[in-house]
Amino acid sequence: MDAHEKKILEYKRKIISLMRSREHSSALKLYHKTFTAESPADPEFLESFYIELNKVNMHEVAFETLQEATAWHPDNEHVEELYKNATGIYFDNLVLHGNNLLFERDDKETKFTESIKKADSLAREKMREENDKILAAIVHKAMETYRKALELREDSVPALSGLMRCHQILGENELVEEINARIEELSPALRSREKSRQELAREAELAEEERKREAARELEMEESAVENIRKLFQEKKYHDVIQQVDELHLSYRTTVPLLLLKARSFAELRRFKAADQTIIEAEQHNRNINEVLEIKNSINETKYGILCKAADVYLHKALELGLSLGEGHFRKAQKCLVKSLEYVPENIDLLDKLYTTQKYLGEREDSYKTKAMIYVLNKKYVTAFDRESSASLCFIASFAYEGEPAIINDFRWFRREFLLTSRAGMALNCLYIRFSPAVTVSAAKFSFSRPLFRTLLYPVRLMIGVLQQFIC
């Protein structure tokens, strides 16, 4: 096996692997990049790829893929057989999809009729107009589906019957007569003897009843599946919930209740990105928008609570370590706080903590903006950082000048206005706060320590005095 063959074999394995891990778009992209008319896929791999596409109900893609492959292998019976099967499955899927759309239309019409009864007379006409537009859009979508099916098999009675019903709903009687005549020509039973219109109508009625019974059976199965999956969720088997929802959606139509259970399971597993994607999918179906919003808000509340707790942990750790060792923790706390404020932008406690991180990280402009927001919410609010700056943390100065609050306040002023406005000053202040309590406790044992500290701090006092005069 040469290098090129090895590379192709590797691509084949990767394509199948991507399909099985549900990365369908990546698999298709790699398939079209790897195989062309000049370098076609072999029939054995085409069969494997076709099977994987059918597993995830990508029938249209399977049909188009094998249609292209017949041009690559014009005389290959195996490829022709695969193409024939793909065409049949795609055709049946189109007819089924059209029937489901008409069922959905009937279902919505029933619900709309009930909702109109509850509305006042002024709103009824407007509601009726909007409802008619929605129902007509579904019928046109079904018509397009049946027409695609007829492009594959123009003599298909099921597809023609579905198309005829669409025209009946829209009141297009001439087209109904034309399609009905075509059905009569194609019907094998009508070739031997003519059936009356009453018999045809009876057949259509029986077919409609069978379709409704089938739909009711499917609905019953869906309700049973939802109940079973809900029990798994209550038992906290979240991985099983996700797996079973995915398996059910491969065989049955996608339902919002199952998507919401899947989203809640992702949230419980702290896989919030996947939960958000599932919520978006549920919103696209929009079967029960209020329930979707309720679950979405619940997930956001969970995310908000986790972010707040994480911010507290990181900030506490950062303050313990100080700026030099705790900078990474300050930044993590800040990131969590910013995300938390996206949910509750006027939470003054979160803004207070964000202001603390910004001050320690030396982000002066951002800290001014945050403090301005705090001021707008509460003019009398004093931030934790400012309270700390005014608190009795000048341990050595407080010990040396005990009973002289004016001098102690001068030292606090110096720390607040100069040390805490620069990264170097904050680092120095962190070291001071860490070691000065132990120094003062030891010094208190000696009577000469207070005069000694006053002597050592005297040059600093002079400097503070000069700075105060200069600034004033």
Q: What is the pLDDT along the chain (472 residues), one digit of tens a residue?
A: 577 788 888 888 888 888 888 888 898 999 999 998 888 988 888 888 888 888 888 989 999 998 999 999 988 888 899 889 889 888 888 988 899 998 888 888 888 777 777 666 666 777 778 888 898 899 899 999 999 988 888 888 888 888 898 988 888 888 888 888 888 877 654 444 444 556 666 666 777 776 676 666 666 666 677 778 888 888 888 888 888 887 776 655 667 777 888 888 888 888 888 888 888 887 777 655 677 778 888 888 888 888 899 999 998 888 777 666 778 888 999 999 998 898 888 899 999 899 888 888 888 889 889 988 998 888 888 887 766 554 444 567 777 777 677 787 787 777 777 776 677 777 776 666 666 767 777 777 787 888 888 888 888 888 888 887 777 5
Tell me how far apart the alpha carbons of residues 422 and 362 are, in angstroms, rounded to a whole number.
6
Distance CA 262, CA 250 (A): 15
Residue 392 is predicted with a pLDDT of 41
CB 419 within 8 Å of CB 368: no
Whole-number pLDDT of residue 334: 93
The long-range contacts involving 272-278, CB below 8 angstroms and separated by at least 24 positions, are 272/299, 272/303, 275/299
CA–CA gap between residue 23 and residue 463 (Å, rounded)? 68
Two domains, one topology: 221-303 and 304-387: yes
Contact 383, 356 (CB under 8 A): yes
To 5 degrees, how large is the angle CA 430–CA 436–CA 441?
155
State the burial class of residue 250 (Cβ atoms within 10 Å of its Cβ: 0-12, 13-18, 19+): exposed
Q: Is the pTM of this model over 0.85?
A: no
Predicted local confidence at residue 319, as pLDDT: 78
- At residue 445, φ and ψ (nearest 5 deg) are -75, -15
Distances (CA, A) of 406 to 403, 409, 420: 9, 5, 20
Structure tokens at 386: 């400012």
Class of domain 221-303: mainly alpha
- Alpha helices, DSSP H, located in 344-392: 348-360, 364-377, 384-390
**CATH topology assigned to domain 304-387:** 1.25.40
Write the Ramachandran bin of 29: left for phi over 0, alpha for psi from -120 to 50, otherwise beta.
alpha
* Domains of the chain, residue spans: 35-187, 221-303, 304-387, 392-472
CB 82 within 8 A of CB 45: no
What pLDDT is stored for residue 144 in this prediction? Answer: 92
